[in-house]
Each structure stands twice: as C-alpha cells, then as structure tokens.
Structure 1
C-alpha cells in the first residue's frame, strides 16, 4: 500500500466534527472558532456574556457554517456537565474541546488578594479540568476526540505581576500531560497551544509601552508580534486527524520567543 494513500489535504478537514470553544466569541477565542468553522466543524461557543455572538453568527451565516451559542459561567457548579449536555443536545456528540476561556489579574505580589487567586485559578485551570472530564465521558463512548488547552508564554516563564495566571498556565501543561496519558487508550489526544505575544486589543497597552514593547520585540526572532490568524493553523492541526499520533505536548506559537 502506498504510504500516502490515506493522506490528503482532507486530513486537516473537520467535516462532521463537533467542537466546543469556551470564550469562543471574543479575543483569540473568536479566531479559534472561525478556524474550526472554516475547516468544517460545527461549533458550540460557550461564554459568560453574549459579547461577540453577533459577529460570529454573521461569519457562520456567510460561510454556511453551523454554530450555536451557550451563555454559561464555566466556574459555576455543574457547568461542565451542563455544557457537555448542551453540545450533545445541539449536535449529537462531541469530538473537539478547546479550553480557551481565561482571565488575568495583575498586581504587586504583596497586594494580591485571596479572592483574585481563586478567581484566576477557577477560570484558567479548574474549569479546564472539569470540562475535560465531562467531555471525555462523551468522547470515550465513540472512542476518539481532541482536547486542546490554551496555554501561554507563562506556561514556561515566570510572571512576577501575575502570580495566579502563571500558576494556572503552568498547571495547564501538567493537566494536558495527565489527561493525555489517561485518555490515550481511548484514542483521545490532549495537547496545548501556547500563544506568544499577539497583536490584539488586549495587548495594545503593552505594545504602546515605550520600554516593554522594545524588550519584547527584541526577544522575538521572527521580529514581529503575531497576528491572531497565525494561531489558526496550529489549532486546526491539533483538532484534526493530522495530529492523531501527537499527544501530551504544549506547542508554542511564539515566533521563537522561547529561544532567547
């Protein structure tokens, strides 16, 4: 048999697949949602507010893609099970989960409040754990699936003003490895994507900082901040059959930032 017989450009397609994206209507999450929709997946967007829903719906309508929305606080008791049940009710199954929703709180170490620590850990780490568990129960029924956790440069590096965020993103790497090993016998691959410095509205202040912006740019071998679209291909790869023998890794999409 020709070793390329079963490999075509459709290996990267997601036709017939069902995905959940938390925080999938705004920020980088909107680009993940659009990447999955454009590749053929049906997507359930989960977010605490309806911000960005109209834009995503317009994108889906224009491309004749299937998208649904679910307003839910992912840190609320029982939310993980409710989200999984909603996806199954909408589309019949779950094939892909993107644990994207996240928050960040900045402060001097001595000024961090306990409530800030709990809030950031709950959104960025605990919610990913519980939702992965709920979704894995569905995926194991049909023996296959993809879980993609969104990490950060703080998955590898310290963050002296963002203690809980750095802890959570380091935790995402460990969570990814643990679920990857546990779910591998069920043909479920679990990986993480770690964005570098991305040109978004949330990073405008940092880009306009005359000192920090220069430090960051000098640290990126590629020589520029990434555009959000530059994350989309890696996300689709990790969601597709092209990555069926890839599990337990965290992929930096950082223009080489971690090399220096």
Structure 2
C-alpha cells in the first residue's frame, strides 16, 4: 500500500527537497503541497493524505495550530491524517507544543533521507516517531525526577522502581523477557523505529512489531517511551 503524503512548509526549496526524498521510495507518494498552516488544513481535507509533513514555523497559521485543527477538529470524511512535525529547531518548546497539539511525531529537517522515509511509514501506522536527540532528552528529563513523582505503570505497585524491582533481590520483570526481546528493547530505547530494528537484527518489521507489543504486555507498560525509560534506568542501553 502506498502512503500518501502532504508537504506543508513555507519554503519552496524545502518542499522540493522533501518531495525528492519521498518520491524516490516506491511505497511513498506526495499528493500535494501547502505553504502555510491554513493551506495545510484545507489541502488535507481536500486530498485526504495518510501523513502530513508539517513545518512548525510558518506565516499566519502555524504548524502547531494546523496540527491541532487536523487532530482535534478534523472536518473531513474518514480518519484524520497523521501529522509528523518537521523543524530545523531542536527546541523542547516545539516538541512539547507539537505533541500536545496531537502530532504523532517530531523529526528534524536534517534527518537522513532513509530515516525520514522510515518515519513517514511509522507515522502512517499510527506509531510515535521522535528524533533520537528528542527521545534522549525526554528520557533524561523524566528519569531525573524523584521516584515518587514518576507515574506508576499498570500492574506496578506503590514503592516499586521504574524497572519493576521491589528490592535488590528482585530481578524485576525484565527477567521475563527473552534474549531477543531484550535486544529489541535496547534498540527501541535508542530511538530506532520498527523498520530500523528489523534491519539491525535481521527480522521482519512485522516480527519486530509483534515483539514490541509482547514486551509492553510483559512489562505492564503502555507505550514505547515508557519502555525506553525503563531500559535506560535499568542500565541496558549504557551497557549494550
């Protein structure tokens, strides 16, 4: 199935570069362009893309506001498109604003072409996408909080640490994972997508998706960010 993409950026040169990246992939296709947030919303309703690549800084209606309109007040038929925010600026306020507005992910414009293409595919599937630098800072911010301020994941009792251990003699739920699942968890914690993990481990993308779901279930977690946080706090990434 071809993923249909709408490009929203106020710079024509950027849109041209993005179009080249997207259309060089057989499974991706650009269906339209927009030069500001107002146009992005209108073109999305008209063209019904699967993914909107949305710039943050645009004149008039910003990318964040356009994202909010598309995700919370979708006026078109069928499901709303996924919004993947692109920006030159690796700043926390943009990340937070975009995610609060309903974006499925956040990527920098200087990302390698293959990573951008992979991010589009991931976003189309409804999976979160974060630039590795953003993932790292998000994890650092949350794991620096006192344990008492960290949210309790489903199935975890009060007083248990984020890695699920109740004490020094408790191996925690990580012991329930297979060696291959631990490998997947480590790569996930490094910010890699399912496709990138599959390539690194010689698996199919479907197999990786299944393993990620199994990891979340076994660890009693809700999403990939929680899993990444657990892996970092447990020291898996630093020793991989």
| TM-score strictly above 0.5 | no
Could you tell me the TM-score, scaled by structure 2's length? 0.34
Structure number with bigger Rg = 2
